[in-house]
């Protein structure tokens, strides 16, 4: 680590011409050196980088330096799951350009989702309906911004780094020959990426296969042209899994049949028009798909009925074999195609009787995915995507992963007839080819811990991968951790006395904290039992609601800051893994303390059992338990612990309300440099908190 007082920091920083800070921070140059070393060989660096190290600036400095040294142009893809991070990246690149002060500024394109950049009225629709309406408007050339040329706009975007809202504003007022020419900002921005040095966007641009293929084609890039930076990388495995989490219901099958009928009727009318004979092949394919779905409806109804009536014991879910879904489709295809005269869908024909079964599944998927269905805007609070598209997504999951042990299907009783959900157990199947084809990657997060675990889960090749957990330059002093050793949420030890002890510890923290306190629990039920159903003195209660909108969440921090300025305090109560514990940026010292109740172990389920079983096959029994049970639980706590520390000048006290965190099973899951102090009673918690807040104060903010 660089000693910032020995005069060498500036000399060392001079080696990195793309560093946004004139004076490097403690630990920052270590991260840059490690990342450069990995990228120079096309490798991968995982950085568990705490707040204050300047990880955004470090990652950009390393990636841009290596990109500038390549014989062929490389584009840095800075991918993040949070739109708030976009602004930090843009501002960081602006500072790099200011410090470089030369004639070759870094060119950047910042993009969010298509709806978020759209200038049309239907951008206000639900995401699924927007996608369809946008596609229809483009196909029929009814979207004027899409078809309007905007000469010079691409060059303007690349001229200097723009926040996405600035980019959209410019596209609304772009002038050609003195006239305002409104263009589609999303289209122009995507086309501009090929000329940029840095692209800022969502994970989906590379880790969703459909989005990746269309994006890179429009950008005129290939994975080999890209150096990847993944911010908040602890979210990437679950984000990949979520992308491939699809649900199938009987209603979807019925609706798909109706949508195919509608499409077929439209084709019949179109075929009567001049040139309509060119649609004959399309008609035949849609008609075939219609007959297949029709032939499968009874078998799907039988399958759902059997799953509902054979649930084990008092369970409301069970595993479904991939073959059970595929056999329904195969038998329907056999009936429609007349294979060996097979008409009885209850009899499974042999593989020899089938005509290229894999090809037929692909064909059905493609027909359903390309089906045009009219959607009207403003059709209610929750307009839906055509179910034919959703069934196509299910088939795509089964085609891609159904033959592996990394895909499991789960039936549960939710909804009218129950539902079947696909779950990808191994996100490495998606991430591995993306990373391997790229020109290297940096994956970073304040809670990417342990980084080696994420390297394993994302299937990064060990010989080309480095992983480092960087020590926090200030956490021990500015974010001490206190463990209440007299309480637990272990099931066998719960009771009135234990609940009262937890409440007393929380009240002691409130009494000694000068500002707002957040408390997080493993579930809404436990949150209500231990926090919401009681009264704490000295604070106003604000309890997370599952029905909160984005606007409600955006208002949370402003409310906290306003109350704090007025000398009032709030107890903010939420749940681990929910939006208050991960999706809100508590900037400007909005929180002074955080209390974490219990250990958020996932309840037993078919999915959790399947995850453990698959992890045992990949990593062995010992690592499987840590990777699927104990480490995810502790990482949820670490994420909550990091909520009040958003800048190097912030300070906060953390209280862990469960003595089990000091046991070896869980203690080894915390960062090695984290030190825990013990509090055996509320009075000790109060004394510790008073000493801390009297000595350590919030400092003026520094830029990331």
CB–CB of 460/248 below 8 Å? no
Give mean pLDDT, residues 278-306: 95
Compute φ and ψ for 109, nearest 5 degrees.
-125, 125
Give mean pLDDT, residues 537-548: 90
When pLDDT is cut at 50, 70 and 90, the band that residue 386 belongs to is: confident
CB–CB of 57/44 below 8 Å? no
What is d(CA 304, CA 562) in angstroms, rounded to the nearest whole number?
Answer: 53
Domains 1-106+220-240+429-470 and 475-695 share a fold: yes
What is residue 352's predicted lDDT score, i.e. its pLDDT?
A: 36
What is residue 138's predicted lDDT score, i.e. its pLDDT?
A: 85
Q: Where are the domains of the chain?
A: 1-106+220-240+429-470, 110-196, 250-417, 475-695
Return the CATH number of 1-106+220-240+429-470, one of 1.25.40.10, 3.40.50.1240, 3.40.50.2300, 3.40.50.300: 3.40.50.300
Convert the pLDDT of each residue in 348-370 to its tens digit: 334 334 456 778 999 999 999 99
Give mean pLDDT, residues 431-436: 98
Structure tokens given for 174: 């772009």
Element (H, E) at 512: helix 496-512
Asked if the peptide bond before residue 544 counts as cis, ω within 30 degrees of 0, the response is: no
What is residue 649's predicted lDDT score, i.e. its pLDDT?
A: 80
Q: Is the pLDDT of residue 380 over 50?
A: no
Count the alpha carbons within 13 Å of 216 in the hemisphere toward its beta carbon: 19
What is residue 697's predicted lDDT score, i.e. its pLDDT?
A: 85
What is d(CA 472, CA 576) in angstroms, rounded to the nearest whole number?
Answer: 23
Helix segments in 17-105, DSSP class H: 28-39, 55-68, 83-100
When pLDDT is cut at 50, 70 and 90, the band that residue 11 belongs to is: low
The CATH fold assigned to 475-695 is Rossmann fold (3.40.50)
Compute φ and ψ for 679, nearest 5 degrees.
-125, 110
What is residue 374's predicted lDDT score, i.e. its pLDDT?
A: 64
Give mean pLDDT, residues 97-121: 88
Higher-confidence position of 411 and 586? 411
Give mean pLDDT, residues 378-397: 76
Which residues are paired to 521 by β-bridges? 575
Query: In the chain, pLDDT over 90 holds for what percent of residues?
Result: 69
When pLDDT is cut at 50, 70 and 90, the band that residue 535 belongs to is: very high
What is residue 14's predicted lDDT score, i.e. its pLDDT?
A: 65
CB–CB of 66/36 below 8 Å? yes
- DSSP, collapsed to helix, strand or coil, labels residue 361 as helix
Q: Is the pLDDT of residue 657 over 90?
A: yes
Give mean pLDDT, residues 213-228: 95
Give mean pLDDT, residues 55-65: 96
Helix segments in 140-249, DSSP class H: 144-147, 153-159, 164-173, 185-192, 204-207, 209-219, 236-243
Q: Is the pLDDT of residue 703 over 50?
A: no
Kindly report the pTM of this predicted structure: 0.89
Convert the pLDDT of each residue in 517-527 to its tens digit: 999 999 999 99
What is residue 585's predicted lDDT score, i.e. its pLDDT?
A: 82
What is d(CA 599, CA 105) in angstroms, rounded to the nearest whole number?
Answer: 48
What is d(CA 536, CA 592) in angstroms, rounded to the nearest whole number?
Answer: 17
Q: Is the pLDDT of residue 4 over 60?
A: no
Element (H, E) at 129: helix 127-139
- DSSP, collapsed to helix, strand or coil, labels residue 148 as coil
CB–CB of 88/64 below 8 Å? no
Convert the pLDDT of each residue in 160-198 to its tens digit: 999 999 999 988 887 777 777 778 999 999 999 999 999
When pLDDT is cut at 50, 70 and 90, the band that residue 39 belongs to is: very high
Give mean pLDDT, residues 641-659: 89
When pLDDT is cut at 50, 70 and 90, the band that residue 702 belongs to is: low
- DSSP, collapsed to helix, strand or coil, labels residue 443 as strand
What is residue 346's predicted lDDT score, i.e. its pLDDT?
A: 42
What is residue 70's predicted lDDT score, i.e. its pLDDT?
A: 94
When pLDDT is cut at 50, 70 and 90, the band that residue 375 belongs to is: low
What is residue 701's predicted lDDT score, i.e. its pLDDT?
A: 58
The sign of the torsion formed by the CA atoms of 365, 370, 376, 378 equals: positive
| Chain mean pLDDT for the chain | 89
Please choose, from the candidates 519, 659, 527, 682, the residue with its C-alpha nearest in 3D space to the C-alpha of residue 592: 519
Give mean pLDDT, residues 570-574: 96
Largest CA distance in the chain: 87
Convert the pLDDT of each residue in 131-154 to its tens digit: 778 888 888 888 888 888 888 889
Question: How far is CA 464 from each of CA 40, 42, 319, 440, 445, rounded to the nearest angstrom?
Answer: 11, 8, 37, 9, 20
């Amino acid at each position: 680590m660089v000693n910032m007082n020995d005069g060498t920091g500036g000399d060392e920083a001079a080696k990195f011409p793309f560093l946004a800070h004139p004076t490097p921070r403690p630990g920052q140059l270590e991260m840059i050196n490690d990342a450069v070393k990995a990228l120079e060989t096309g490798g991968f660096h995982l950085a568990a980088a705490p707040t204050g190290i300047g990880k955004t600036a470090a990652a950009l400095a390393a990636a841009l330096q290596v990109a500038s040294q390549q014989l062929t142009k490389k584009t840095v893809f800075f991918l993040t799951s949070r739109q708030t991070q976009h602004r930090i990246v843009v501002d960081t690149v602006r500072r790099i350009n200011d410090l470089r002060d030369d004639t070759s500024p870094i060119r950047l394109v910042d993009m969010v989702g298509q709806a978020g950049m759209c200038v049309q009225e239907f951008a206000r629709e639900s995401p699924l309906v927007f996608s369809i309406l946008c596609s229809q408007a483009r196909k029929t050339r009814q979207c004027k911004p899409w078809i309007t040329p905007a000469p010079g706009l691409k060059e303007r975007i690349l001229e200097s780094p723009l926040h996405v809202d600035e980019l959209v504003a410019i596209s609304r007022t772009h002038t050609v020959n003195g006239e305002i020419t409104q263009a589609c900002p999303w289209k122009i921005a995507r086309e501009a990426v090929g000329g940029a040095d840095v692209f800022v966007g969502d994970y989906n641009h590379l880790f969703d296969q459909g989005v990746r293929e269309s994006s890179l084609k429009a950008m005129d890039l290939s994975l080999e042209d890209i150096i990847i930076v993944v911010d908040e990388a602890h979210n990437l495995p679950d984000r990949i899994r979520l992308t491939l989490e699809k649900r199938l219901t009987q209603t979807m099958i019925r609706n798909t049949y109706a949508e195919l009928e509608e499409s077929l009727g439209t084709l019949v009318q179109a075929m009567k028009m001049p040139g309509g004979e060119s649609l004959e092949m399309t008609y035949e394919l849609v008609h075939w798909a219609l007959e297949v779905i029709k032939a499968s409806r009874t078998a799907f109804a039988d399958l759902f009925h059997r799953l509902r009536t054979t649930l084990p014991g008092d369970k409301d879910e069970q595993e479904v074999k991939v073959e059970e879904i595929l056999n329904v489709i195969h038998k329907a295809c056999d009936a429609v195609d007349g294979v060996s005269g097979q008409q009885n869908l209850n009899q499974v024909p042999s593989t020899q009787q089938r005509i290229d079964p894999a090809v037929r599944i692909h064909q059905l998927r493609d027909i359903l995915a390309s089906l045009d269905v009219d959607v009207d805007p403003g059709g209610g609070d929750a307009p839906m995507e055509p179910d034919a598209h959703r069934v196509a997504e299910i088939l795509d999951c089964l085609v891609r992963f159904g033959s592996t042990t990394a895909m499991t299907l789960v039936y549960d009783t939710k909804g009218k007839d129950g539902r079947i959900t696909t779950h990808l157990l191994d996100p490495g199947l998606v991430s591995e080819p993306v990373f391997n084809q790229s020109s290297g990657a940096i994956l970073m997060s304040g809670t990417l811990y342990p980084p080696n675990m994420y390297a394993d889960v994302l299937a990064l090749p060990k010989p080309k991968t480095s992983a480092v957990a960087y020590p926090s330059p200030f956490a021990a002093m500015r974010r001490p951790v206190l463990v209440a050793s007299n309480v637990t949420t272990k099931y066998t030890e719960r009771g009135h006395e234990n609940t009262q002890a937890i409440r007393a510890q929380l009240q002691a923290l409130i009494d000694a904290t000068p500002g707002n306190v957040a408390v997080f629990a493993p579930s809404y039920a436990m949150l209500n039992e231990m926090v919401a159903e009681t009264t704490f003195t000295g604070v106003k209660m604000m309890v997370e609601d599952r029905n909160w909108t984005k606007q409600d969440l955006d208002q949370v921090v402003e409310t906290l800051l306003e109350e704090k300025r007025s000398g009032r305090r709030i107890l903010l109560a939420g749940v681990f893994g929910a939006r208050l514990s991960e999706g809100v940026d508590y900037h400007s010292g909005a929180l002074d303390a955080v209390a974490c109740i219990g250990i958020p172990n996932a309840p037993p389920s078919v999915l959790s059992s399947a995850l453990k079983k698959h992890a045992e096959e990949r990593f062995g029994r010992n690592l499987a338990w840590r990777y699927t049970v104990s480490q995810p639980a502790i990482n949820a706590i670490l994420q909550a612990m990091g909520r009040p520390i958003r800048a190097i000048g912030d300070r906060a006290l953390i209280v862990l309300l469960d003595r089990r965190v000091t046991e070896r099973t869980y203690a080894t899951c915390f960062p090695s440099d984290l030190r825990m102090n013990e509090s055996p009673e509320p009075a000790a918690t109060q004394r510790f908190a008073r000493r801390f807040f009297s000595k350590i104060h919030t400092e003026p903010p520094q830029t990331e």
